């Protein structure tokens, strides 16, 4: 893993207090990066930062940030006060519903966090990276961006937008030596999945988890650490020839179903 080291790099991870974001922040810290966790809940970000710093001996800082709010994002990047070598946009929310069952409020809520939040954080990061003519952006898209999924209308809309923004930014940032890619996971077993199942399928948790796992041809859900390993590679110098790419990590979902 030495070729994937991030020594001397400063990484910003949104949604870094839990789930995939926390796994990415943890692995980056263990790989030598100075990490800034941006999360909506300050207490959660601070607790995660302290835990990651304690186990990795890296410098890890917590920054409270509402990625959907422009002034909050600008203030967060101002608080970082220095170079940003890597931005990982992991903050996001999910929604269950078809076109007919999705309310306008739900649609707008998903858009504000998943699309507007990714846009605002990329805009702030690129402004810093462009001055140094160097940087890496990694966005969390989803298989929902390119595959039709039942009852994921608004969520799929947002992840399709994340993929499109990734390609556009990758093209526009070529002159600035900024790489931009995205990862498209299938279902990943995070605390969010467990909480969702417990809330919506009481008494049938084990059965439901098994059904969710079986939807991937490989027979299980992914883990946050597996997503983090791909993120580390794409944000390291080992991936310096990769930009404008959407990397599936889906247990064969798109090609082997």
**Which carries the bigger pLDDT value, residue 200 or residue 20?**
20
Please tell me the least confidently modeled range out of 100-104, 198-202, 213-217. Answer: 198-202
| pTM (two decimals) | 0.96
CA distances from 176 to 110, 165, 170, 240 (A): 31, 17, 10, 14
Report H helices in the chain: 19-30, 42-56, 70-80, 104-110, 117-132, 153-172, 191-200, 205-214, 224-235, 253-256
Q: How confident is the model at residue 80 (pLDDT cuts 50, 70, 90)?
A: very high
Does some domain include residue 256? no
Q: State the DSSP H helix or E strand holding residue 140, giving kind and residue range, or none if neither.
A: strand 135-140
Residues 214, 228 within the same domain: no
* Residue 32 scores a pLDDT above 70: yes
Does some domain include residue 257? no
Residues 110, 139 within the same domain: yes
Residues 229, 113 within the same domain: yes
The residue whose two tokens read 């020839």 is 241
Residues 211, 95 within the same domain: no
Residues 172, 203 within the same domain: no
* Residue 2 scores a pLDDT above 80: no
Other CB atoms within a 10 A radius of the CB of residue 144 amount to 22
Please give the pLDDT value at position 28: 98
Residues 234, 174 within the same domain: yes
| 107, 245, 121, 145 alpha-carbon torsion, rounded to 10° | 10
Residues 56, 68 within the same domain: yes
Other CB atoms within a 10 A radius of the CB of residue 242 amount to 15
CA distances from 221 to 182, 210, 256 (A): 19, 9, 15
Beta-carbon contacts of residue 88 (< 8 Å; ≥ 6 apart): 11, 12, 13, 14, 21, 24, 137, 138, 139, 140, 231, 235
Tokens of 251: 């247990």
Beta-carbon contacts of residue 113 (< 8 Å; ≥ 6 apart): 67, 68, 91, 92, 93, 158
Please give the pLDDT value at position 1: 59
Does some domain include residue 130? yes
Average pLDDT value for residue range 161-189:
98
Q: State the DSSP H helix or E strand holding residue 182, giving kind and residue range, or none if neither.
A: strand 178-185
Residues 209, 192 within the same domain: yes
Does some domain include residue 68? yes
Count of structural domains, the chain: 2
Please give the pLDDT value at position 135: 98
Residues 130, 196 within the same domain: no
CA-CA distance, 98 to 96, in Å (whole number)? 7
CA-CA distance, 227 to 26, in Å (whole number)? 12
Please give the pLDDT value at position 51: 98
Structural domain including 75 reads 2-186+224-248
DSSP state of 201: S
Average pLDDT value for residue range 193-201:
86
111 noted as active-site residue: no
Average pLDDT value for residue range 190-218:
90
* Residue 200 scores a pLDDT above 90: no
* Residue 132 scores a pLDDT above 70: yes
């Amino acid at each position: 893993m030495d070729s994937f080291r991030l020594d001397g790099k400063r990484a910003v991870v949104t949604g870094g207090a839990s789930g995939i974001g926390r796994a990415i922040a943890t692995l980056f810290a263990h790989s030598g990066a100075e990490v800034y966790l941006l999360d909506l809940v300050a207490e959660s970000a601070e607790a995660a930062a302290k835990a990651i710093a304690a186990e990795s001996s890296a410098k890890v800082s917590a920054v409270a940030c509402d990625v959907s709010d422009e002034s909050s994002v600008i203030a967060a990047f101002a608080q970082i006060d220095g170079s940003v070598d890597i931005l990982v946009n992991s903050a996001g929310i999910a929604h269950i519903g078809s076109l007919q069952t999705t309310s306008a409020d739900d649609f707008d809520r998903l858009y504000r966090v998943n699309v507007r939040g990714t846009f605002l954080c990329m805009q702030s990061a690129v402004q810093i990276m462009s001055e140094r003519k160097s940087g890496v952006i990694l966005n969390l898209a989803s298989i929902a961006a390119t595959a039709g999924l039942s009852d994921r209308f608004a969520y799929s809309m947002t992840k399709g937008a994340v993929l499109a923004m990734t390609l556009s930014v990758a093209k526009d940032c070529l002159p600035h030596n900024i790489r931009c890619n995205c990862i498209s996971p299938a279902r990943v077993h995070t605390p969010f999945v467990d909480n969702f199942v417990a809330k919506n399928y009481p008494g049938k948790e084990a059965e439901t988890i098994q059904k969710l796992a079986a939807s991937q041809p490989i027979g299980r859900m992914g883990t946050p650490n597996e997503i983090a390993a791909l993120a580390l590679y794409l944000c390291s110098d080992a991936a310096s020839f990769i930009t404008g790419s959407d990397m599936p990590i889906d247990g064969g979902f798109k090609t082997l179903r």
